[in-house]
């Protein structure tokens, strides 16, 4: 079935058909960026997980490769679950979780690796270590890195037998023998029931532990998605422990659709992709692209920078390659301005100079952004496609609102605020592929708008 113009995403990584979830195995190898993703090529449910594969030389234009890993062995026969990638001795290593449902119905997980010399065909080398004692079968999503002394470290998301979330750390000298060093972060077991997709970001100033805890209760404007992805800032010690405080946990993205992010570092830049969805099976079943045989996308790649203890997420400068012209439009904001987007693939940049009151912006009659001047907060509204009700996500900014950079596609929107101080990522679905209106109800001369048409 073809993807319709109403919903197709043209500059995001999507599956050719079937279901996509987490970004996996991010690596720069043989002069190309490699992005793998959780992929069910056989349907739009969470089953038959393989690793789909795309490559790029600029992080913007992607070429599809054949499926990289699919279930074939006793230790991964029911799914190739998430994990990371590294490059070592001119080989690309992928680490993943083998999902197994035994004949007697018992479920098991194995942390495995596969190696490639050409970045295309992978040889599986099987499970790396025994299942840790004191943990349920929910141990998954290995991510590996090397320290400056040549040691390899692997972290993996886990659930303790008391049904609380955790992350384990393993150490290796040779990538084949791994020793468990215990919990990555010491904590009191009160932070969700499972931690998925752990990742560690290394900056000069500090280290950052990113993970996706499941089961945090909603708290004010926080944790409104079914599950969260966020981070704590701290320091990695040479015993493999991460010294950081879970009470400092901060959500990475304040939109509706962001989960299971993964990063990689290339030439000193830390680049992150997320899965542009929320983990909610009921809402997933109602996504209209299912009628077209596909579902979900990755977010755009973002550069992640740590500044004064806060992660800023900026759209990569390479995304400017998507712009089809120098500039489609530039103009001052007048009281109640109206524009037409050049296309449903567009970038909109709003610079504020003299903001002294609230404003309201409505994009494609679908997504509304409200700014509250007194609170210095942004609220983003969309229609929930399952219930038909309007719903919102809200973030209060630390800095005065100076800029909004918005990437729009037929059924996605990513709003970067103040060069990445906050990001809202979301999907929205409207049937009218020609709806291109943008309204901005604001004061006179509060700033300027620029629009670019992006590549289809």
DSSP 194-233: EEEEEEEEE-SS-EEEEEEEE-PPPBTTBS-SSB--EEEE
Nearer to ligand FRU, 196 or 303 (CB): 196
Q: Exposed e or buried b for every residue in 369-379, given b needs 16+ CB within 10 A?
A: bbbeeeeebbb
Nearer to ligand FRU, 75 or 452 (CB): 75
Nearer to ligand FRU, 44 or 410 (CB): 44
Among 76, 141, 199, 253, indicate the residue that binds ligand FRU (CB under 6 A): 141
Cβ of residue 228: shortest distance to ligand FRU, in angstroms?
12
Nearer to ligand FRU, 214 or 405 (CB): 214
Q: What is the 3-state secondary structure (H, E, C) of 97-126?
A: EEEEECCCCCEEEEEEEEEECCCCCCEEEE
Cβ of residue 378: shortest distance to ligand FRU, in angstroms?
27
Residue 21 binding ligand FRU, by CB under 6 A: yes
Among 8, 97, 263, 343, indicate the residue that binds ligand FRU (CB under 6 A): 97
| C-alpha torsion sign, points 11, 12, 16, 17 | negative
Among 8, 44, 82, 263, indicate the residue that binds ligand FRU (CB under 6 A): 82
- The Cα angle at residue 158 between residues 157 and 159, in degrees rounded to 5: 150
Residue 164 binding ligand FRU, by CB under 6 A: no
Cβ of residue 236: shortest distance to ligand FRU, in angstroms?
22
Strand arrangement, sheet containing 179-183: 135-146, 152-160, 165-172, 179-183
Q: Is 162 a catalytic residue?
A: no
Say if residue 210 is exposed, middle or buried (CB neighbours under 10 Å; 0-12, 13-18, 19+).
buried
Q: Which one of 22, 141, 166, 199 is the catalytic residue?
A: 22
Among 139, 144, 154, 197, indicate the residue that binds ligand FRU (CB under 6 A): 197
Quick note: the x/- pattern for ligand FRU over 320-359, rule CB under 6 A, is ----------------------------------------
Residue 44 binding ligand FRU, by CB under 6 A: no
Nearest to 427 by CA among 254, 251, 257, 226: 257
Residue 260 binding ligand FRU, by CB under 6 A: yes
Residue 81 binding ligand FRU, by CB under 6 A: yes
Cβ of residue 22: shortest distance to ligand FRU, in angstroms?
5
**Coil, helix or strand at residue 274:** strand
Residue 167 binding ligand FRU, by CB under 6 A: no
Contacts of 245 (CB under 8 A, 6+ apart): 232, 234
Q: Which residues are catalytic?
A: 22
List residues near ligand FRU by CB under 6 A: 21-22, 38, 49, 81-82, 97, 140-141, 196-197, 259-260
């Amino acid at each position: 079935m073809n993807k319709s113009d109403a919903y197709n995403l043209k500059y995001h990584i999507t599956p050719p058909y079937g279901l996509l979830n987490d970004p996996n195995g991010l690596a720069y190898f043989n002069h190309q960026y490699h992005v793998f993703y959780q992929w069910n090529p056989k349907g739009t449910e969470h089953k038959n997980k393989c690793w789909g594969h795309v490559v790029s030389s600029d992080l913007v234009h992607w070429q599809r490769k054949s499926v990289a890993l699919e279930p074939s062995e006793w230790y991964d026969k029911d799914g190739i679950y998430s994990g990371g990638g590294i490059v070592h001795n001119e080989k690309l290593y992928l680490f993943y979780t083998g999902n197994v449902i035994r004949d007697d119905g018992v479920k098991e997980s194995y942390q495995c690796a596969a190696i490639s010399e050409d970045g295309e065909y992978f040889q599986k080398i099987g499970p790396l270590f025994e299942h840790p004692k004191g943990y349920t079968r929910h141990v998954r999503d290995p991510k590996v890195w090397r320290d400056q002394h040549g040691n390899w470290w692997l972290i993996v998301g886990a659930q303790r037998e008391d049904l609380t979330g955790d992350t384990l750390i393993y150490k290796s000298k040779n990538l084949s023998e791994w020793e468990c060093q215990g919990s990555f972060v010491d904590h009191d077991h009160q932070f969700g029931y499972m931690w998925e997709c752990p990742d560690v970001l290394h900056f000069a100033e500090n280290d950052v532990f990113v993970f996706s805890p499941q089961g945090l209760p909603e708290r004010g404007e926080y944790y409104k998605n079914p599950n969260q992805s966020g981070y704590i800032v701290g320091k990695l010690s040479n015993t493999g422990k991460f010294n950081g405080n879970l009470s400092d946990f901060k959500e990475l993205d304040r939109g509706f659709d962001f989960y299971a992010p993964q990063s990689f570092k290339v030439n000193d830049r830390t680049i992150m992709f997320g899965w542009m969805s929320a983990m909610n099976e009921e809402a997933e079943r109602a996504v209209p692209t299912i009628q077209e045989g596909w579902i979900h996308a990755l977010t755009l790649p973002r550069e992640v920078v740590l500044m004064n203890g806060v992660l800023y997420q900026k759209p990569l400068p390479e995304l400017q390659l998507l712009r089809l012209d120098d500039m489609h439009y530039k103009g001052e904001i007048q009281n109640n301005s109206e524009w037409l987007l050049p296309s449903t693939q567009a970038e909109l940049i709003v610079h504020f100079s003299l903001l002294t009151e609230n404003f309201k912006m409505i994009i494609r009659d679908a997504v509304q952004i409200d700014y509250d001047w007194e609170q210095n907060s942004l609220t983003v509204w969309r229609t929930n496609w399952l219930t038909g009700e309007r719903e919102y996500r809200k973030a209060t900014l630390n800095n005065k609102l100076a800029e909004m950079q918005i990437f729009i596609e037929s059924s996605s929107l990513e709003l970067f605020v103040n060069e990445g101080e906050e990001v809202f990522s979301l999907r929205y679905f409207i049937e009218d592929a020609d709806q291109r209106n943008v309204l901005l109800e604001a004061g006179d001369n509060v700033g300027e708008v620029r629009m670019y048409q992006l590549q289809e």
